[in-house]
Amino acid sequence: MVHGKKLAVDVLLPSVLEDDDAEAESEKLQLGERRASRTGVDVRGPKDRRSSPDGNVLDGGESEGEEEEEEEEEEENEEEELGGEERVISDEDYDTDLELGDKEEAYDPTGQTSYMEACEALQVAPASYFLRHMKNSEMSMMHRGLGPQGTKALAVPLVTNTSILRLNLRDNWMEGMGGAAIAEMLKENCYITEVDLSDNNLGDHGARAFAGMLKENISLLSLNLSGNHFTDRSAEHLGPALISNAKLQHLDLSHNALGDRSGQNLGDSLSENTGLRSLSLAWNCIRGRGAVMLANGLGGNIFLRTVDLSFNGFGKEGAIALGQALKENAVMEELNVSSNRIPPEGAIHLAMGLKVNKTIKSLNMGRNPIQNAGCYGILKSLQENPDSAMEKLDFSDITVNQDFEDLYTAVKEIFPVLTVNHGGRIGAFRKAKA
């Protein structure tokens, strides 16, 4: 029976081919062409194939399978093409990452690279000391002769430097241009807390630049601008800056040319300032109405602890205003008004403020023509004020008599810690001459 069935199949198969000869031939040709065109290997598994009794593959969905395979091949080719494009894009991205990486590796937080580039651009010689100490917390470069251009180059790396906390560039003749560069740097740098730019001839231009900086900086605690040829015009800029800045605690404006108008501007500002703890206006030209206005501002300030007004021209009017300020001020601890042409009457009026003041610990009245009467009046005011905190009185270069010595002995019993310095006793000089 099996042999008969095989014969029947052999007989039927040619008849089927004869009946559909053209169609079969075309299919064979198509299949042959497709198979010839295919270069890949058939990866279909056994479950996807069906065999005829004679062992030939008769996949009923052969044409559809071939089409699916071709579509898969086309998709693979497209994916390969897309993959190639993606690889190209990723390669480009990778190159960019390398470039960025190179830049990051080249970045120097101390700013040495940027400093060298700035020096080259400004045609100045790099300061080897600066390069060696850029990682220190304190940078002190006094008397180096940097000049305006050298200071500008120095300011470039300081913008991003995070190590330096205290900067001393005293006496480098940076002038207004260099000062403006440092001021701009301090607008960006939030690490530097102490700056000394004294004796740099900053002038009014530099003062204006630092006034702008003080309106923006929130980290600077101490600023020394002594000896920079500031005038009343400088005070016009610095005054408003002191009102807006509540962070700066120590300001030195000594050895400048601040006059009467400066006293008025600074007096108005000090009455509203809430940050300063110490202020030096020594060696200026503040007198007359300017001195009175400045004293009034000190009376309204409730934060200042130390004030140096020595070597100005307060005179009698200024001393009277200071006496009134001492009545109102309840925080000031140290006051220096030495060398201010204060007469005995001015000292007596200032003493009236000391009768009620409870915070002042040190008063320097030396080198004023207050004579023995002024010294005696100030010491007497302490005797009448049991709540006085006075610890030191300085009457340098002012001679006193025996009455003052006797009063001092009595006051010493009330305030054992009190020390008084004066220019000697009148009687002692007479005995020495004899």
- The token pair that represents 59 in the structure block: 């996949």
Nearest residue to 299 via CA among 278, 268, 342: 268
Q: Where are the domains of the chain?
A: 125-433
181 contact partners, CB below 8 Å, separation of at least 6:
148, 151, 152, 155, 174
For the chain, the 3-state helix, strand and coil shares in percent, each to the nearest 5, are 55, 10, 35
Phi, then psi, of 289 in degrees rounded to 5: -65, -35
- Assess contact for 276 and 249: CB atoms under 8 A: yes
- Assess contact for 270 and 242: CB atoms under 8 A: yes
Q: Which CATH number is 125-433's, of 3.90.700.10, 3.40.630.40, 3.40.50.2300, 3.80.10.10?
A: 3.80.10.10
- pLDDT of 111 reads 85
- pLDDT of 37 reads 43
Q: Would the pLDDT of 405 be above 70?
A: yes
Residue 350 is inside which H or E element, if any?
helix 344-354
Phi, then psi, of 188 in degrees rounded to 5: -100, -35
Beta strands in 244-383 (DSSP E): 250-252, 278-280, 306-308, 334-336, 362-364
Nearest residue to 395 via CA among 428, 354, 425, 417: 425
- pLDDT of 87 reads 44
Q: Would the pLDDT of 2 be above 50?
A: no
- What's the whole-number average pLDDT of the chain? 83
Q: Would the pLDDT of 398 be above 60?
A: yes
pLDDT digits (tens, 9 = 90+) for 339-383: 999 999 999 999 999 999 999 999 999 999 999 999 999 999 999
